[in-house]
Amino acid sequence: MRIAVKEYGRSDQGRPFGGGMELKLAYKILIGLGIVGVIVLLAALNLWRANQEEVFMVKTAQVKEEKMEAAVFASGKVKLVDRSEVYAIVGGKVERVLVEEGDLVKPGQALAILETRELEKRVQQAEASLELERASYDKTLAGARPQEIEQAKIRLRQAEAGVEVAQRNLERVAALVAEGVAPAKDLEAARAELAKAQSQLDTTKQDLSLVQAGETAEAIRVLEARIRQAELALALAREELQAASVVAPVAGTVLKVSIEPGEMVATGKTLFSIGDLGRMELVAEAMEADSGRLAVGQPVRITTRALPDEQLPGKVERIAPQAQTVVKNQQGEQVMVAVTIKIQEGRNVLKPGYNADATIVTDSKESALVVPHEAVVEKDGNKHVFVVDDGRAKKVEVTTGIGNELFVEITSGLQKDQVVVINPSEKLQDGSRVKVRDEAKDKGNKGKSDD
């Protein structure tokens, strides 16, 4: 830029005169234009740098204050707490079935009747055997008749006479042997005859004593034992006859009828299943990694596939002392821990065998600052988030508390309503420029592309 300066005359002393003010003004204008140029240049440079700086498109979430729950998820089946199987105590042909599935029954109520003809015969045979044993016992206790005692005495006198004859014969033979008339072997034969006669005498004496005294105590005990055995056989026969009438052992609902009239059943066959529908529990399986957070008494929310819109309350009642390996289809083997959950309400809408899901609340807070799990970055043992502030990402160190499947509690570092980046890029740094993604616009564009 050129500035024309009009030159005027000089004074006698050689100094310019007439245009001094105009010259100063020109210099000021020149300086001002230079400053403006520098400002414009710096602005242009900053604009150029800004255009060159990477802008990260991010998804965000707002820090919320709400109730927070930490939970363990488990799945299993609804089962009855009390279930009784009714078995056939005796075998036989089913004559009548008196109940149907779904019927309510009381203890002792008849459920079915088996044919009893063979069982009645067994009772009659057992009664006859007992009567026979008792008659034998009574006869033994009554002792021997007089005729039997007299016959025993006659046999005793005959044995005594035999001993006398054998004694005289021995004396006669001994004399002959001494005189040399009879050989020595005759003496030995005579002695043997005497010994035999003496033995016969001893036996007849014992027989007479037994007849006169009756049976021994040992023989009587044997007879008493036989009576007891016959009594037990009769009791068993009567129990089997009574068991032909099948009765309910407990109160409850008939869950299953496994027989029909005319069917032959064997001893031990399951005839009926009875259960108390008012007492049910959920036996679920929790993952090995979650089992350490479980404790008896924790509250549970139960949902079933049959009633997906209803949540039923429950409580952890038992935790299995031993884990088990379960095959989960394509997932391969997994280690699971069985958890028994008491169903506290809504039992009337459940059925045994239902599949059910359990949300076991392991910890809860009425008020907590929460963000999605995807907002928290863990690195080198520390945790941080990126807060969106005036178009830039600000790195903020945080500490976390309890969490669930979607959110985690922030115990320090953030305030309510702040906006944090979700799934931040690994390249995102403190101070990086960010632009929040317009999800509604993205969805609209996707819809158009689909069309």
**CATH number for the domain including 305?**
2.40.30.170
Alpha-carbon gap, residue 413 to 408, rounded angstroms: 13
Alpha-carbon gap, residue 337 to 405, rounded angstroms: 20
* Residues of the domain holding 435: 55-67+366-450
Do 377 and 397 lie in one domain? The reply is yes
Residue 221 inside a domain? The answer is no
Q: How confident is the model at residue 329 (pLDDT cuts 50, 70, 90)?
A: low
**CATH number for the domain including 425?**
2.40.420.20
Alpha-carbon gap, residue 408 to 323, rounded angstroms: 28
Distance of CA 80 to the CA centre of its chain: 12
Residue 52 has pLDDT above 70, yes or no: no
Mean per-residue pLDDT over the chain, rounded: 84
Distance of CA 398 to the CA centre of its chain: 40
Q: Which of 39-48, 83-92, 341-350 has the lowest mean pLDDT?
A: 39-48
CB-count exposure of residue 426 (10 Å: 0-12, 13-18, 19+): exposed
State mean pLDDT over 212-239: 82
Q: For the chain, how many structural domains are there in total?
A: 4
Over residues 76-92, the pLDDT tens digits come to 999 998 889 999 999 89
Do 333 and 319 lie in one domain? The reply is yes
Which residues, 6+ apart, have CB-to-CB distance to 428 below 8 Å?
A: 56, 58, 386, 393, 421, 434
Output the pLDDT for position 143: 58
Do 370 and 446 lie in one domain? The reply is yes
263, two tokens:
């069917």
